[in-house]
Structure 1
Amino acid sequence: MIIGELLNSSRKSIRSLIEGQNEAALLEIAQSQVAAGADYLDLNCGAFVKDEVERLAWLVDTVAAAVDKPLCLDSPNARALAAALPLARGPVMINSISAETARYREILPLALEYKTKLVALCMDDEAIPTSAEARYAIGARLTEDLLAAGISPDDIYLDPMVQPIAVSARGALVIFDTVRLLRNNYPGVHCVCGLSNISFGLPNRRLINRYFLAQAIACGIDSFILDPTDRQLMGCYVASRALIGEDKFCAKYLKAHRGGLFAE
């Protein structure tokens, strides 16, 4: 699954468009991601600390009315999610729940009420663990709790918490090891990550993102929050899926080739 990341208020240009309620420009970005192959569109208004509730509701209503793709509501704020979920029109994903006590308690009822998919962060009330074993332990506990609460395994998207390799040299290896543990023990759930986090603070970020994507797919991550308008990145995604046997007769690869995805 590809979740388009571009409509995020942490980007100054997007924040400005949301502030000005520039529907035309925001919808152009949304539609460009759909055209590039996004399955879901991530919507984030977290930069608006004081009025996130109103901003997210407006953005969800605006995009849902014009774009025929499911939305991923990106907020830890249960009040913002509660206001936006009724406006989503169709399947929806919440990004995100975690093992943090308050966050879990506030967001789980919304997921159950609206029957959403859930990005579930491998973190709890302590700091993000540095080891794969500790992240796996949190992910396993979170998975068991969500399953017991009635969430379908197919609606659980475990996020191993990608951190920049610029500050955590072995960060990518921890991700790969965490995902392997999760996949071996919970094969029915999904694994997702925010791809571009890996390259934060470094030059030539797109190169790092592409190589990380290929390795992440090989270790078992099946869903990504990324920029689908990066053609080389999407080409890497399609080719990598074919290499792990997820593209029968390379049909999707050949379709992408005929569509010009790999053209220089």
Structure 2
Amino acid sequence: MNMLVIGEKINVLTNIVYESIVSKDLSPIVSLAIQQVESGAEALDVNIGPDIAGGEQIMKELVGVIQQNVAVPLCLNGTPGMIEAGLGVHRGRAIINGVTGDRERMGRLLFLAGEFNAGIIGMALPERGYASDVNEGCSIAMDIVEEAARQGIMPSDIYLDPVLASFSMNPAALTGATGTVRLFKETFPGTKTLVGLSNISQG
């Protein structure tokens, strides 16, 4: 079984990334990208969050400078507008991170995935909070997979993420996520699964 390792360090919530963006000196972000690829990352998440001013232009600049220095696909994470801006300049096939149970966000991002031939990360998140149990997570995934099919997105281009809560919030999170992943594999053949392991240490 093949495993895709996605580096998660290019995240605006970290001081180094935030300060790099604010100062317009992107060299620390380039260094993070290179370090992650040299450590085995086969794709890089680029997460600039929903609130940063000028996010669409920032996403374009980040995609450009990162792809000048590393040759791996990028997972674009932000508002639909930011993601669309990044897709417009991304060389090769990108991955959209992430499609949730929010119907408006789901519709916009799946449309973009179809338009730009991008892969998607489908997150088992309702509009607010976390899924209450495995069944709710699977129901959200079902909505994403069915809507993706309507946009012409193949199951093999979908990564389903059970969304691992931090250990401090839910000590049983890892066990629950394992059960959700197992149900995803049984229910949605042909799709792939993904778990953000860094989530467990947050909080």
The question of a shared fold, defined as TM-score above 0.5 by the shorter chain, is answered with yes
Aligned length: 200
- Which residue of 2 is the match for residue 87 of structure 1? 89
Task: Confirm or deny that 1:27 pairs with 2:30.
Answer: yes
- Which residue of 2 is the match for residue 218 of structure 1? none
How big is each residue's C-alpha offset from its partner over 1:36-79, in whole Å with a ceiling of 9 and x where there is no partner?
Answer: 1111111111165332222212111111222211111112x111
Query: What does residue range 69-218 of structure 1 map to in structure 2 within 5 Å?
Result: 69-75=72-78, 77-201=79-203
Contact residue 3 and residue 41 of structure 1 kept, 8 A:
yes
Contact residue 47 and residue 77 of structure 2 kept, 8 A:
yes
Aligned-residue Cα RMSD (Å) equals 1.5
Task: Confirm or deny that 1:4 pairs with 2:40.
Answer: no
Structure with max Cα Rg: 1
Contact residue 121 and residue 159 of structure 2 kept, 8 A:
yes
| Matching residue within 67, 71, 75 for 1:68 | 71
- Which residue of 2 is the match for residue 41 of structure 1? 44
Q: Which amino acid aligns with 1:7?
A: I
CA distance in 1, matches of 2:169, 2:126: 21
How big is each residue's C-alpha offset from its partner over 1:120-140, in whole Å with a ceiling of 9 and x where there is no partner?
Answer: 111233542221121112112
Q: Which amino acid aligns with 1:161?
A: V
Q: Which amino acid aligns with 1:154?
A: S
Cα gap change, 1:167 to 1:68, in 2 (>3 Å)? same
CA distance in 1, matches of 2:35, 2:103: 38
Stretch deviating more after TM superposition (49-58 or 33-42): 49-58
Cα gap change, 1:179 to 1:46, in 2 (>3 Å)? same
Task: Confirm or deny that 1:55 pairs with 2:58.
Answer: yes
CA distance in 2, matches of 1:24, 1:49: 19
CA distance in 1, matches of 2:77, 2:202: 19
CA distance in 2, matches of 1:47, 1:135: 23
Task: Judging by fraction of residues, say which structure has more helix.
Answer: 1
Please give the secondary structure, in 2, of the residue aligned with 1:66.
coil
Q: Which amino acid aligns with 2:82?
A: A
Normalising by the residue count of structure 2, what TM-score does the alignment of the two structures yield? 0.92
